Structure 1
Amino acid sequence: MRIHQLRSLVAIADTGSVRGAARMLNASPAAITQSLQQMEKDLKIQLVARAASGVTLTADGRALLEHARLIVGQLARAHQAIDAMRAETGGRLSIAVTAWVAMTFLPETVVRFRQRMANVQLEFFEGLLAIANPRLRDGSLDIYIGRQAPGNTTSMFTHKPLFSSTRAIVARRGHPRAESRTLAELLDLDWLVALDPETEGLAPYKMFAQHQLPVPRSIHYLHSLTVAVALLQRTDMVSIFPWPLVELCASRDSLCAIPVREQLDESTVGIITRAGEPLSAAGSCFIDCLVESIRDETGPGARDRDRVMTSVEIQI
């Protein structure tokens, strides 16, 4: 396998067509097709299924794609490291950030980072497990600032804790169960929770099992804070938020924390990267800027910072 062949496979997966891959790689469709066919011939397997509507990866293609992304991404990072040693700037840094950290410390972190590495392009993703972990694994994400997955990923990722906090049950202000005191009173509601891909979404079920309760009759999964807030505001759904997010969203979005007596699991937010892989100069600089912003009690956004600091424990 050659690197240009792996790049072609990644581009086809990302764009869904040979023409789209050609545009992404600034090559001709014929060159992309030739790269793919030669790789299929060498490996003696079919990597894509071709149809009038485009191409899709076969099971073999999807298996190879995970490795192709890692190789292509690692080569790009190697080039960036060499450019840095030559005092050349540029490249891209991809980061996923959990919502409440994005609302408080991210702006100041970006300002500091841009002052030091103005030519590095930043790419941000919403910091949910279902979004961040697959991208960390396949190499399309450099840094995840968020909650560590409870699954068996400790050997694959490194985790540097930043904050710990508890979580809360949230609903719209004026919800008919807003004054409930136990989880048992909420079992018949529709629950909206973030999908945990490492445990196949079992986390909310375990929460009820820990308190010797049956699971709610209806659990739905989300991949966006915007969607969660919109649904909570206009329905009788309930959800589970980390307390810092409750502090930020409750008054602004007309939400409230339901005062159940049960203690919910603690949530730890940290800096998560791939194990055994050195961070680029840009990645290290971004983390330095984030830590500085967290420690700077006089920085911009002090009101939001003070609000979330009442519900977290700093671990750096």
Structure 2
Amino acid sequence: MKLHQLTTLAAIADTGSIRAAARSLGVSPAAATKAVRELEADLRAPLVIRGTSGITFTDYGRALVVHARLVLGQLARAEAELDSMRGRAAGKLSIGVTPWVALTFLPETVKRFRERMPEVQLEFFEGLLAVVQPRLRDGSLDFSIGRPPPASPQSEFQNVPLFSTHSAVVARRDHPLAQCRTLLELEDAEWVLNWDPASRESISENVFLRRGMKVPRTIHLAHSLAIVLGLIAHTDMLSIFPWPLVEVISSKENLWALPLRETVDETLVSVVSRRGAPPSPAGACFLECLREVIDEGARSDNPERRRLFHSIELLL
């Protein structure tokens, strides 16, 4: 297998056709086709199926695309690290970010990072597990900042706890249950959560069952924070937001944190990466910027700014 062959295969997977892949690589369609055919001959396996509707991958092809992206990603990281050692930090840093972190700590972190590494291009993805795990797996994402996946000794991912925070139940300000004081009063409510389906078991255990409650019959899942905000603003649905997000959006979105006596849920935010893949210099710099933003915010002389960080406990 040659590097230009793997590059061509990954480009076809990214663009959906040989012609588009050739255009993105700056080669002719004939050269791209030749690279794939030579790779198939070397491996003695069909990788792509050419049809009237376009290109599809065989099982062999899909498996090889994953490895091709890993190889190309690792080479790009190696080049970026050498550039950093020469004092010419450049390249691209791809990060998954859970939506509420994007609305709270991300903007200031990016400003700080850009001052230190202005030549590095940033690429962000919404950090739900269903979005980031495939990209972590194939190497197209450097790391993700958000809820860690379920722990397992055989996991292909490693989690480094970054910080923890508490959460609140939120509703529109004129919600019939807006003044409830206990979670037990919310047993029959309808919920919408910006969490992954894989988190349903932990939701049930951490929020409801351990308090002797029955799990609500209806828990809707939305893969967009904007959808959740729209629904709770105009329906009787409830949701659960980390406190920093409540501080940022409650006045703007006419939302209300219910004055519950209980602590609702502790949210752990981790840096999730592929096991065995150390952070690049740019990745390490970005995480250091994020830690600084949170640490300095918690000690700020500005009461409004300090309130945003009052529930945060740095773990790294």
TM-score tier (shorter): 0.7 to 0.9
What percentage of residue pairs aligned between the two structures are identical? 50
Q: Would the alpha carbon gap of residues 60 and 265 (structure 1) be closer, same or farther in structure 2, given more than 3 Å must change?
A: farther
Task: Supply the distance in 1 between the matched residues of 2:299 and 2:33 (Cα, whole angstroms).
Answer: 53
User: Given residue 186 of structure 2, which amino acid in structure 1 is its aligned partner?
Assistant: E
User: Given residue 63 of structure 2, which amino acid in structure 1 is its aligned partner?
Assistant: A
Output one character per residue of 1:29-52: Cα deviation in whole Å (capped at 9) or x when no partner. 222222223333333444334443
Partner of 1:203: 202
Query: When the two structures are superposed, what TM-score results if normalisation uses the length of structure 1?
Result: 0.84
Task: Supply the distance in 2 between the matched residues of 1:135 and 1:118 (Cα, whole angstroms).
Answer: 25
* Structure 1 residue 213: Cα displacement: 4.7
Task: Supply the distance in 2 between the matched residues of 1:257 and 1:57 (Cα, whole angstroms).
Answer: 49
* Structure 1 residue 214: Cα displacement: 4.6
| Mean Cα deviation higher: 58-67 or 137-146 | 58-67
Equivalent position SS for 1:41: helix
How many residues end up aligned between the 2 structures?
Answer: 314
- 1:140-179 mapped onto 2 (5 Å cutoff): 140-152=140-152, 155-179=155-179
Coordinate RMSD, CA, aligned: 3.0
Q: Would the alpha carbon gap of residues 213 and 42 (structure 1) be closer, same or farther in structure 2, given more than 3 Å must change?
A: farther
- Off by >6 Å, runs of 4+ in structure 1: 298-301
Task: Supply the distance in 2 between the matched residues of 1:304 and 1:155 (Cα, whole angstroms).
Answer: 40
User: Given residue 127 of structure 1, which amino acid in structure 2 is its aligned partner?
Assistant: G
Q: 2:168–2:265: 8 Å Cα contact kept in structure 1?
A: no
Equivalent position SS for 2:269: strand
Structure 2: gaps (5+ residues): none
Output one character per residue of 1:238-286: Cα deviation in whole Å (capped at 9) or x when no partner. 3222222222222221222345566444211133333322322222222
Partner of 1:83: 83
- 1:252-271 mapped onto 2 (5 Å cutoff): 252-259=252-259, 263-271=263-271
Output one character per residue of 1:112-171: Cα deviation in whole Å (capped at 9) or x when no partner. 222222111111222322223332222111132222222437853443333212223322
Output one character per residue of 1:61-118: Cα deviation in whole Å (capped at 9) or x when no partner. 3333322221110011112222223333321111222334333332332222222221
User: Given residue 87 of structure 1, which amino acid in structure 2 is its aligned partner?
Assistant: G
Equivalent position SS for 1:94: strand
Output one character per residue of 1:270-303: Cα deviation in whole Å (capped at 9) or x when no partner. 3333332232222222222222222224999956
Whether 1:6 aligns to 2:1 is no
Task: Supply the distance in 2 between the matched residues of 1:135 and 1:153 (Cα, whole angstroms).
Answer: 21
Q: Would the alpha carbon gap of residues 262 and 108 (structure 1) be closer, same or farther in structure 2, given more than 3 Å must change?
A: closer
Q: 2:108–2:293: 8 Å Cα contact kept in structure 1?
A: yes
Partner of 1:182: 183
Partner of 2:26: 26
Partner of 1:278: 278
User: Given residue 150 of structure 1, which amino acid in structure 2 is its aligned partner?
Assistant: P
* Structure 1 residue 59: Cα displacement: 3.7
Partner of 2:62: 62
